[in-house]
Amino acid sequence: MNLVFLGAPGSGKGTQAGRLALRLAASHLATGDLLRAAVSTGSNLGRQAEAFMNAGELVPDEVIIGLIVEKQRMGELNGGFILDGFPRTLPQATALEKMCAEVGAGIDRAVLLEVEDDEIVRRLSGRLYCTRCQAGYNVHHDGSRPQAEGVCDRCHGPLTRRGDDDAGVIRNRVQVFRSQIRPIAEYYRSQSVLLTIAGNGTPDEVFSRISEGLGLE
Ligand code: AMP
């Protein structure tokens, strides 16, 4: 199954896409994670993306489309994929469609996770990740608080906040999302593949809504 996950930053799309990828044995490609890895290694891609990411703006289409095309060439999209955070613009959506058509595939479902803006800001402001193993935590959620403050449960590495989870940048990222999502949602709705899921509640509750919506239960 080929899926795209759409949702505001903090909507839980990364968590849900990761869980679903395990369940479906599909590749999970999160463009935000790929870009952050590129920034931390100082690669050419990272240098092109960093300033946009720090400001909460989208990286230019040609940069991000180039990244996905490269992943496809490397065979990372063979055998089913879940794209998380891509597409975010119409040119990205049409480039993806073209890329899939070239290998006789298509997008089976576009899952849109809907969460209220206030909840998004609350979730993002509590988010922490481990600088060593990248494990994610949230100090506002009972099930995902680290056991010791500022320390990773898994590897004892130091926890930090993402640079773009700063209050001003969060607001910009949410605005950017709201301004881009309508045409993308329409694009997938017109192809009868849009699945809108309420993203409120616990990760388990959201996962079971998604599974039901995809007919996996
Ligand atoms: P995320 O982790 O999905 O919230 O993405 C973090 C940042 O990476 C975004 O704020 C953008 O700057 C950049 N980014 C991730 N995916 C895309 C995309 N599909 N198009 C443009 N920029 C992206």
Q: What is the pLDDT of residues 22-77, one digit of tens each?
A: 999 999 999 999 999 999 899 999 999 999 999 999 999 999 999 999 998 898 88
Determine the CATH number of domain 2-116+193-213: 3.40.50.300
Look up the pTM and report it: 0.87
State how beta strands 81-84 and 27-30 pair: parallel
For CA atoms 44, 6, 88, 9, the dihedral sign is negative
Percent of the chain with pLDDT over 90: 75
In the chain, where the domains are located = 2-116+193-213
Q: Give the 3-state secondary structure of residue 114.
A: strand
Does residue 140 register a pLDDT over 90? no
Of all protein residues, the one whose alpha carbon is nearest to atom 2 of ligand 1 is 32
Whole-number Å distance, alpha carbon 32 to ligand 1 midpoint, is 5
At 106, give phi and psi (nearest 5°).
Answer: -155, 180
Of all protein residues, the one whose alpha carbon is nearest to atom 1 of ligand 1 is 32
- What is the arithmetic mean of pLDDT over 120-141? 90
Strand segments (E) across the chain? 2-7, 27-30, 81-84, 109-114, 127-130, 136-138, 159-160, 194-198
